[in-house]
Amino acid sequence: MVDLEVDRGLAVITIDRPHARNAIAPTTMDELDKSIDAATDADARALVIKGAGERAFVSGGDLKELAAIRTEDEATAMALRMRGICDRLANFPGPVIAALNGHALGGGAEVAMAADLRIAADDIKIGFTQVNLAIMPAWGGAERLAALVGRGRALLLAASGTVLGAAEAERLGLVDRVLPRADFDQGWRALARSLATVPAREIKYVMSGAVPGAEAARAFARLWVADEHWQAVEKVMSRDK
């Protein structure tokens, strides 16, 4: 089951499959697609994806359900299906946060890489463990990992199946912030809420690299003339009096 919560510009997608440690099955892919559609339709300014509970963010693909895939064509279709969903997360208009409530292994690490930011509880582990099944990352995670930490380090991590603790993952740049377990839920939600109430969506837009300078200036100008800008200016000026 995949749950969606939308409140004041913040969308939270929760993968809730405790019996499978939040692993991705074909029905999960369908539900993720629908949840992203709904978050987009709601004009959410920020999006969080997380797993239910504290054991797993996403433990990869659901091997019991995916075991029915036996041909190259079927395997290609499955890989492209989930890669497309990860692409949708990466291309969501607003900032996307992967709240790593538990371990992110194999395909779970790939889902995490699709986010703009990864916030982790201090007791989680993350790793591209697909090599333990004699396969490779197939959902776009290898390419995103290379862009994040560099080609050599990404190759070492993915080819060795190394599993990292939260602190080491933060040191290497896989994780952007580590929070104590006791503060985790409050911490990721506070960060996500702040990103939903500031122009982070516009900042992500101009950071995409595909925005001409003139369009970036126009994006700035739209914010400049908005009521929120002048209300903020008034607050700052009143404090300085």
The tens digit of pLDDT for each residue in 96-111 reads 999 999 999 999 999 9
CATH topology of domain 2-195: 2-enoyl-CoA Hydratase; Chain A, domain 1 (3.90.226)
State whether residue 3 is helix, strand or coil.
Answer: strand
Q: What is the pLDDT of residue 198?
A: 86
What's the rounded mean pLDDT across residues 49-72? 96
**What average pLDDT does the chain have?**
95
* Domain map (residue ranges) of the chain: 2-195, 211-239
| Contact partners, residue 238, CB within 8 Å, separation at least 6 | none
Asked if pLDDT for residue 8 goes beyond 90, the answer is yes
Q: Tell which residue, 66, 86, 198, has the closest CA to residue 135.
A: 66
Prediction pTM value: 0.93
Tell me how far CA of residue 134 lies from CA of 16, 72, 73, 106, 207, in angstroms.
Answer: 27, 15, 18, 12, 36
Asked if pLDDT for residue 87 goes beyond 80, the answer is yes
The tens digit of pLDDT for each residue in 17-54 reads 999 999 999 999 999 999 999 999 999 999 999 999 99
Asked if pLDDT for residue 202 goes beyond 70, the answer is yes
Residue 221 · residue 153 · CB < 8 Å: no
For 152, the enclosing helix (H) or strand (E) is: helix 151-160
Q: Please count the CA atoms within 13 angstroms of the CA of 49 that sit on its side-chain side.
A: 33
